[in-house]
Amino acid sequence: MSGHSKWNNIKRKKEKTDAQRAKIFTKMGREISVAVREGGPDPTVNSKLRDIINKAKAANYPAENIDRIIKKASGDGKDEYETITYEGYGPGGIALMVETLTDNRNRTAADVRHYFDKFGGNLGTNGCVSFMFTQKGVLLVETDERSEDAVLEDCLEAGGDEMNYDEEECEIVTTPNDLRAVTDYFEGKGYKIISSEPEYVPSNYTRLSDEEQLKKMGLLLEHLEDNDDVQNVWHNLENEEDLPE
């Protein structure tokens, strides 16, 4: 069940500056607000909110900020966000899915289209690349010095489909419908939950060898991830490690 998880490398592996961390906090704040409006302010009964809080804490999001956002979202605040997913192709035919959370769909659509056009891609219509991805439930936990065999045993007992282990963190892959039950099982076993959320996993990968295409792909991902409205970017680039810093 263990093996290399390519889809766990969705976000660029680079040191976060204060400005980048601020953008991450902005995005998480939106997720918390939407989760509260959809399921209420109590994380013990709102599992989506509980998962987002776990992810925020893992990113060192200040607890007082979390509480403030929950209180604001529980009141009469006027912020209304909607989730919109864009699909398209990047340089060299790399398939991308861009999940956004926005209060202004015209602004977000214009920004996303601009990035695709500027860096050698093409923004497409709904369905143009989504058939190349499968939605999975992905749980990331701290191993806390547990052995691979011990985590594997818990994964099998919880009903996980796949496990990708290292000494500090372990990724458990399951179906979206089973993600909540698997997460609850690991919480009950005393694991620290880093994140628990659905992700889009490509059915096949494409490798880029052209340096100019790699450069443009890196810039496209960087601009998408730096946009406050963009929550997640999924793609099928096989050699993400070759993207220039």
Domain ranges of the chain: 16-74, 84-245
The DSSP call for residue 243 is: S
Domain 16-74, what fold? Arc Repressor Mutant, subunit A (1.10.10)
**What pLDDT does residue 7 have?**
40
Q: Residue 128 pLDDT more than 80? A: yes
Residues 215-237: what's their mean pLDDT? 93
Which structure tokens are listed for 60? Answer: 């060192």
Residues 72-79: what's their mean pLDDT? 73
Q: How does pLDDT run across 157-174, given as a tens digit for each residue?
A: 999 999 999 888 899 999
* 84-245: CATH, from 3.40.50.1700, 3.30.70.980, 3.40.350.10, 2.170.190.11: 3.30.70.980
Give pTM, 2 decimals: 0.80
Q: Residue 229 pLDDT more than 50? A: yes
* Closest-CA residue to 172 (of 137, 147, 135, 139): 139
Q: How does pLDDT run across 49-75, given as a tens digit for each residue?
A: 998 898 888 888 888 889 988 988 887
Sign of torsion over alpha carbons 42, 48, 54, 58: negative
**What pLDDT does residue 54 have?**
86
Q: How does pLDDT run across 84-105, given as a tens digit for each residue?
A: 999 999 999 999 999 999 999 9
Q: How confident is the model at residue 180 (pLDDT cuts 50, 70, 90)?
A: very high
% of residues, the chain, pLDDT over 70: 90
Provide the β-strand partners of residue 48.
Answer: none
**Averaged pLDDT score across all residues of the chain:** 87
Q: Do residues 238 and 229 make contact, with C-beta atoms less than 8 angstroms apart?
A: no
**What pLDDT does residue 81 have?**
87
Q: How does pLDDT run across 106-119, given as a tens digit for each residue?
A: 999 999 999 999 99
**What pLDDT does residue 186 have?**
96
The DSSP call for residue 16 is: P
Among 19-33, 56-70, 162-176, 218-232, where is mean pLDDT lowest?
19-33
Q: Do residues 239 and 208 make contact, with C-beta atoms less than 8 angstroms apart?
A: yes
Q: State whether residue 155 is helix, strand or coil.
A: helix
**What pLDDT does residue 73 have?**
85
Q: What is the DSSP string of 156-204?
A: HHHT-SEEEE-SSEEEEEE-GGGHHHHHHHHHHTTPPEEEEEEEEEESS
Residues 120-136: what's their mean pLDDT? 95
Residues 31-45: what's their mean pLDDT? 90
Q: How confident is the model at residue 2 (pLDDT cuts 50, 70, 90)?
A: very low
Q: Residue 11 pLDDT more than 70? A: no
State phi, psi for 208 to the nearest 5 degrees: -105, 130
Burial profile 158-192: b = 16 or more Cβ within 10 angstroms, e = fewer: bebeebbbeeebbbbbbeeebbbebbebbbeeebe
